[in-house]
Amino acid sequence: MRIRDPVLGFIELNENERKVIDLYEFQRLRYIKQLALSCYVYPGAVHTRFEHSLGVMELATRIFDKLCKEHKELISKNFEEIGLNINEARQILRLSALLHDIGHLPFSHAGEEVLPQGKKHEDVTVSIILSLRDVLDRIFFNGITERIINVISKKETIKNLMILKKIIRVLLMQTGWIIC
């Protein structure tokens, strides 16, 4: 499956990723604006969390593929130490990037006021991903859910997965999306 993005061109998705995108939990991101209420002042600012998540997945994949092209042996060895092959690691990265904002509420960060004290959209994200464990582990591979959470959470990451976390983190910082 291919989705046409006006900035990035075509974003390729495999059949299992399409199943994730088709889930209600992901589709709801179509209705959550990336820039909250900015579109009322800047009518062109209508980018959604849905589009943002697809773009983060695509850019993270491009970075990973470039790194693998230049350092495949080193990267393969890193993931083999924790029982993953390059394709599994790539899939973890793609899903981590795709799902990193799945817990966002309407009105972006302003909507977090309705959450219990000390909770943020990142906590909701982890809860939603955990609720999808059966689906994710069934259509991809057993244990992928914990790997995704390990990559996107602010908690300490398994050393061998740190490269995936850093790809997403650097990408979000470079694009100005880190605050989102």
Q: What pLDDT is attached to residue 180?
A: 39
The DSSP secondary structure of the chain, one letter per residue, reads -EEEETTTEEEE--HHHHHHHTSHHHHGGGGSBTTTTGGGTSTT---BHHHHHHHHHHHHHHHHHHHHHHHHHHHHHHHHTTT--HHHHHHHHHHHHHHTTTTPPTTGGGGGGGSPTT--HHHHHHHHHHHTHHHHHHHS-TTHHHHHHHHHSSS---GGGHHHHHHHHHHHHHTT-TT-
Beta bridge partners of 141: none
Question: pTM for the complete prediction?
Answer: 0.88
Mean pLDDT value across the chain: 87
Q: What is the pLDDT of residues 4-43, one digit of tens each?
A: 998 899 999 999 999 999 999 999 999 877 766 666 676 7
Q: What pLDDT is attached to residue 178?
A: 44
Q: What pLDDT is attached to residue 179?
A: 40
Q: What pLDDT is attached to residue 174?
A: 62
The answer to whether 168 and 93 are in contact (CB under 8 A) is yes
**Sequential pLDDT tens for the chain (180 residues):** 999 998 899 999 999 999 999 999 999 999 877 766 666 676 766 778 899 899 999 999 999 999 999 999 999 999 999 999 999 999 999 999 999 989 877 666 655 565 557 666 677 789 899 999 999 999 999 999 999 999 998 887 899 999 999 999 888 776 554 443
The answer to whether 46 and 31 are in contact (CB under 8 A) is no
